[in-house]
Every structure is written in structure tokens, then in C-alpha cells.
Structure 1
Amino acid sequence: MSQQIEINIPELLRKGVILWIFFASLTVIGLITSVFKVPADSQGVILRFGKFEKTVGPGLRFKLPFGIDEHEIIVTEGVRTAQFGILGSIADSSQSFNPLSLGERNPSTRERSLQRSIMTGDLNLLEVEWIVQYQISNPRDWLFEVKDPQGTLSDLTEAIVRTVVGDRTFDEVITIGRLDIAQETRDRLQDAVKKYKLGIRISEVQFKNINPPSPVQASFNEVNQAEQEKGRMINEAKGSYDQQTIRASGTAQQKISEAIGYATKRVNEALGDISKFNAMFIEYQKAPEVTTSRLYWERMKEVIPKMGKRIIIDEETSQILPLLQLNQVENGGVK
């Protein structure tokens, strides 16, 4: 038969054991509920009876125990991403949300199509997909100033994008204006979230895809290809024009240089002839007969070799032809 154990509660109370156990448990619970850790990329928000008390930085932090103070950990260093008009999700986003999927709603394809359908300033429809990257800069405003900060951010972003795109033409949005639209959207959105005290800082706005509606996509592609072909042919024509212009300019410059060289040569030759004539005239003045004779024989020396074979006889000589046998020529001489 097992031995019965009797507990004498008054004896325990008299010795204070239960009281010590109570205070020890209370101390442990107080320590557990008063200490919390804030990660390095976050800030802690302490609430006292549900009311904002203060914000604390990373590290081991303390608060009033037993539920008097509560805390919320808000990531402030990580970049969050809001998707708009994108049917899938962004794989490289650590924290992202689709504005249409907030709350208990299950967005339909029609709702997503309506969000991405935006009209331009020249009354053309576009299907636009974009994302907004932001960081929480003020945890207090993020938690308490607006009831639904993500929903508010969604409404503000969509309204601003529709306004910015609506101020531009179809061609501008689809081609060269994408970066300007993204920058203007970011600036306007930053001003709006500051005005509404959302407690966030807009890092970047990126437009992923901007396309015409699906029913006219094929026609648009054909027009786009035609425009590209037109641009290519214009560039080729300009290149050929520039090439021919450069070649013609080089040829013209060469002709001009040759003409200048020829003119310089002729002038120098003329100057040389003048100097030669002046020197000869000086010699002629000193000895006219000698100079005249010398000039005559120098000229004859130049002229006679060019005349070919010639026989010079006295005009009174007769019957010389039978003796010379002029028709027999051998090795360039007369036999």
C-alpha cells in the first residue's frame, strides 16, 4: 500500500515558500515581457496602452512589462516594392505587394487589366506595368498617420501615373519619354507621400513594360518595324552622303593644292626666265656681237638635232644627187 503524502499548506505559507515562488515567477515574467531585440535593419516602436510612446534603434531594448508596453518591429533599411499592372510577382523583391491583393480581395484579370490600361494625351490606350520601390523612413507615421498606408500609396501612385502619362503623346510614352515619365512620377509621388505623412521615402519608379493593347499589338509591331527600317535607310543614306561629301571634299582639296603648286611653279619659272633674260641683257650690252653669235649657235645646237637628216649644199652646186645615193640608208647613216 502506497504511502500517502500530506501537504501542510499553512505550514508552507508560514515558511513563505509559496510567496517566494510567486515573486520569482513574477520576476521571470517581467523580465521576459520587458526585453526585446531590434534587428540591425529595423527600428522598434514602443506603444504604451496602445498609444505611441517612442521609437528605439537596433539592439537590446527594454519596455514596461506585463503588457503595459507593446512593441512593433518595422524594417527601415530594406527596400519594399509595390507592383502595378503586373500579373505575376517580382522574384528579386524581398518585400513586395500587389496593391490589388490587399485585404481579403482576390483580384480578377479584369481588375488587373483596368489598372494597367492608361490613356495618353492624344487619346490612345496603353498597357503599362510599373513598380515603386520605397523605404520606411518614419515608423511612427507609417503605423499611425494613415489607416492603410499601402492602399494609400497604391491610390496615389496610380493617380499620379495616369496624370503624367495623360500629359504626353502615345509616341513619346512608347519611345523616348519613359525615363522622364519615371522621374516625374517619382518626384510627384514623393511630394504626395510627404503631404499625407505616410512615413516613407520613394527610392525609384521603374516602368517595366509599356505596350499597346493586345488587339492592336501586331499592327503596332509592323508600324514599329517600318519606322525602324525607315530610320535605318535614312542613316545609311546619311552615311553614304557623308562618305561621298568627304571624298569630294578631299578630291577638291587635292585639285586646289595641285593648282596652287602649278601656279607657284609657273611663277617661279617666269621669275627665273626674267632673271636669266636680265643677266643675258647685261652681257649683251657689254659685247653685242659676241653675245648674238653665241646665242645663235646655242639655238642652232638645239634646233638642228630635231630636224632629222638634212643635206646642205651650195645653191650653185649641180649633179650632186647621183653621187650621194640618198635612197640607200643603212644603220642610220648614208652610204
Structure 2
Amino acid sequence: MAWNEPGGNGKDPWSGKGGDQGPPDLDEVVKKLQDKFGGIFGGGKPSRGDGSIGGGSGPGSKSIGFLVGIAVLVWLASGIYIIDAPERGVVLRFGAYHETTPPGPHWHIPFPIERVIPVNVDQITSFRHKAQMLTRDENIVDVEFTIQSRIQDAADYLFQDRDPDKTMRDATETAVREIIGKSDLDFILTQGRGAIADRIKVGAQGLIDDYKAGLMITSLNMQPAKPPEQVKSAFDDAIKAREDKEKLENQAEAYANDGVPRARGEAARRIADASAYKDRVIAEAEGDASRFLAILKEYEREPKVTRERIYLEAIESMLGQTSKVMLDTAEGGGNSLMYLPLDKLIQGVEQGRVGRGAASSNTESSRAPVETTKFRNVDRTRGVR
């Protein structure tokens, strides 16, 4: 029967007194404990009746205090920890998440109150995902992806999801099925690989964030998709035809980029030539008109003199460039006096001698004055007769 139940007579099992005596004295309990420990270590004496403790300052009490102090210091020092650069420290207090510490030295309340879990947030993990997917145009295609990820939030990675790696795999597969199911087979097999990979990465990351898995996809690469084996040859021909089309388009574009500027330059050059020709013809026409008007004025004042001057200028312009002159000796020209330019004839003969030792082109050019001289001599002889 309990001491405070009816019939227990209100006796306190600790003090042996009745229940009406009140709770035990705390000072008396402490004195009893001190007496027991003092007797065990042999450094103290039983407490006196007046409440004082004898021998409390003995060597045993000092040793106990020193050992207790060292133990406390060691316990406190065990709370010092260092987090490396690629890690984050997740601090747990009484088993619950408390905080996340950055790299560097830190201190936490030692065990069993707090403990620290270091998590490497820079380590890259990768996995492959390969499956057959159904496209929007109801074709089956074999796709393969390589996904790389790292821990983004250490606390979420440890406590928010039971298996964050599996969550990421499931989220990636869900995003792949959704994006591939909304795309045509031709787009997947040709130029849509990069766009599809980006869309899958965004969709998978959104699902991972919704589940608070604490992971971040750093890269998602899509390998070249393959059609089913039954129609692989036909798709290979289609892909080759598209590649030829792109090649021809690039060649045509390169030709256009080269031909258009060249044609524009040629057009500009011809326009400039035409403009210069126009200006030259106009200037010549204006000059001829001005010269004709000037001659007309002179002709109106002195017609005979002007006619003779025009005749002489015409004869000079025509005969000045010729090396042969034919004279009519039958009609009173027998007594005509011939002018012989001896200095030029001698100069031509000397040039012919010097040019004999030169190249064939120079030799041919040097013979012209000599032949001209011979023809003039023959003509002169005919004129004298």
C-alpha cells in the first residue's frame, strides 16, 4: 500500500515522519550526499550537528574538482569542428535540424545535445536514363539521356525526402515522357535534340524543387535518338536528304553572299564609268562647239585667211603622223624642193646600230627608222627624176 493512501497512517518513507510534517529539508538532503561522497573518497568528515561540514577543503575534494573541470573542458572542446570548402555542416539539436554552417571552423554544443553532419555539396553525380518513348505522332523512339547533378540544399537533401536520388530519377523520367510525348519524331531525330534536352532539364528541376529533394541538375545531355529497327533504313535516307538540303542551302547562301556584293561593286563601277564618259563627251562637245563658234567669228571677219589656216592645220594633222610622202612630178612638181631632216635620219641610223645587240623586240623597233629612211631615199630619187 502507498504511504499516502488510506490506512498508510501518513508515514513518509524517506523521513519516517507523518504526512503532516511537510516535504523534506533540501539542505539536509545535500548534507547527506556530501557525507556519503566524503566517506567514499576519504577526504571529508561527517557533518556536525550544527550543519557545518568538516574537512571540506581536503586534497580529495580538490582532486575531484580538478578532474571535473578537465572533463568539462574536454567536453566543450569536442564541440569544435571544421567544415571543408566543398561541404556544408548540418547541425542537429536533440535530433532535429537546427542550422546549416558554411565552410570554416565552428563550434556547437557537444554530444549528446548537438551533432554535425558534413555534406559535400560540390560533388557531381551522374546517371543514364534510357527508354523507349511514344511521340506525339504515335511513333516509338529510343532515347538516352545523361544527367549530372549535385546537392543544392543540404538540409532538404537529408530530411525532406527519404530517397532524393530516386526522386530525381523519377522526376527526370516523368519530364522525358512529357516532353517526348509532345514532340514529333522528325523533330526529335533531327534538329530538336538541344531544345528537347533544355525543356526536359527545366521540367525535371521543377519537379525536384516541388518535392524539396535538395538536388540541382547541372547538365542534361541527350544522345542521338534512334528510330525503331524496322524503319531505321528509311529514316536514315530521310536524314541524309535533310543533310543534303542543308548543305545546298548553305552553299547557295555562301554564293549569294559572295555574288551580291561583287555584282553591286560591278554595277557601281559601270555607273561611275558611264558618268565619266558622259562628262567627257559633254565636255568634248562643248569644246568643239566653242572652237567652231570661235572659228566662225574669225571666218566672218577674214574668210580667205581662215580657210587657208584651216586647210594648213588639216594637212599638218594628217601628214604629221605619216612617214611617206608621195609627190606628183608630172604636173609641175619636178622643181619642188625636198626638205631632208638629216639630223633625225642620222639619229635613226645610230639607234639601229645600238639596237642590234639588244633583245629581239628592241631590234624590231629599231629597224623602223632605218626602213623609213630607205623608203624616203627611194621616194626622193623618184622625185628628182
**What's the TM-score bracket when you normalise by the shorter of the two chains?**
0.5 to 0.7
Structure 1 residues 133-188: Cα deviation after superposition (integer angstroms, max 9, x where no partner): 23332x33222222222211221122113222333333433444344333333333
Indicate how the Cα distance of structure 1 residues 207 and 119 shifts in structure 2: closer, same or farther if over 3 A, else same. Answer: farther
Structure 1 residues 167-222: Cα deviation after superposition (integer angstroms, max 9, x where no partner): 3333433444344333333333343333222234x252321523205736666555
Structure showing greater radius of gyration is 2
Indicate how the Cα distance of structure 1 residues 13 and 271 shifts in structure 2: closer, same or farther if over 3 A, else same. Answer: same
Residue from 104, 123, 140 that aligns with 2:138: 123
Aligned residues: CA RMSD? 4.2
What's 1:272 paired with?
A: 287
Residue 311 of structure 1: CA displacement? 3.1
> Does structure 1 retain, via aligned residues, the 8 Å contact 2:136–2:184?
yes
Further displaced range: 40-49 or 237-246: 237-246
Q: Name the CA distance, whole Å, in 2 between partners of 1:41 and 1:297.
A: 107
What's 1:282 paired with?
A: 297
Q: Name the CA distance, whole Å, in 2 between partners of 1:46 and 1:296.
A: 121
Greater relative contact order, per chain length (Cα 8 Å cut-off, separation 6+): 1
Further displaced range: 233-242 or 301-310: 301-310
Does structure 1 residue 211 correspond to structure 2 residue 211? Answer: no
Residue from 103, 108, 117 that aligns with 1:62: 108
What's 2:120 paired with?
A: 75
Q: Name the CA distance, whole Å, in 2 between partners of 1:13 and 1:264.
A: 131
Residue 268 of structure 1: CA displacement? 1.3
Residue 251 of structure 1: CA displacement? 4.5
> Does structure 1 retain, via aligned residues, the 8 Å contact 2:174–2:204?
no
SS at match of 1:231: helix
Indicate how the Cα distance of structure 1 residues 120 and 193 shifts in structure 2: closer, same or farther if over 3 A, else same. Answer: same
Residue 75 of structure 1: CA displacement? 2.1
State the TM-score, normalized to the length of structure 2: 0.57
What's 2:378 paired with?
A: 331
Residue from 36, 42, 48 that aligns with 1:15: 42
What's 2:203 paired with?
A: 188
Structure 1 residues 82-128: Cα deviation after superposition (integer angstroms, max 9, x where no partner): 4132xxxxxxxxxxxxxxxxxxxxxxxxxxxxx43333333341322
Residue 27 of structure 1: CA displacement? 5.6
> Does structure 2 retain, via aligned residues, the 8 Å contact 1:38–1:61?
no
Residue 39 of structure 1: CA displacement? 3.1
> Does structure 1 retain, via aligned residues, the 8 Å contact 2:91–2:100?
yes
Structure 1 residues 268-323: Cα deviation after superposition (integer angstroms, max 9, x where no partner): 11111111011112222332332233334444555689997463867xx9xx9xxx
Where does the alignment leave 5 or more consecutive residues of structure 2 unmatched? 1-37, 44-59, 335-375
Give the 5 Å matches for 1:220-231: 220-221=235-236, 223-231=238-246
Indicate how the Cα distance of structure 1 residues 26 and 261 shifts in structure 2: closer, same or farther if over 3 A, else same. Answer: closer
State the TM-score, normalized to the length of structure 1: 0.65
Residue from 67, 90, 97 that aligns with 1:52: 97
Residue 240 of structure 1: CA displacement? 4.4
> Does structure 1 retain, via aligned residues, the 8 Å contact 2:123–2:150?
yes
Identity level (%): 24
What's 1:143 paired with?
A: 158
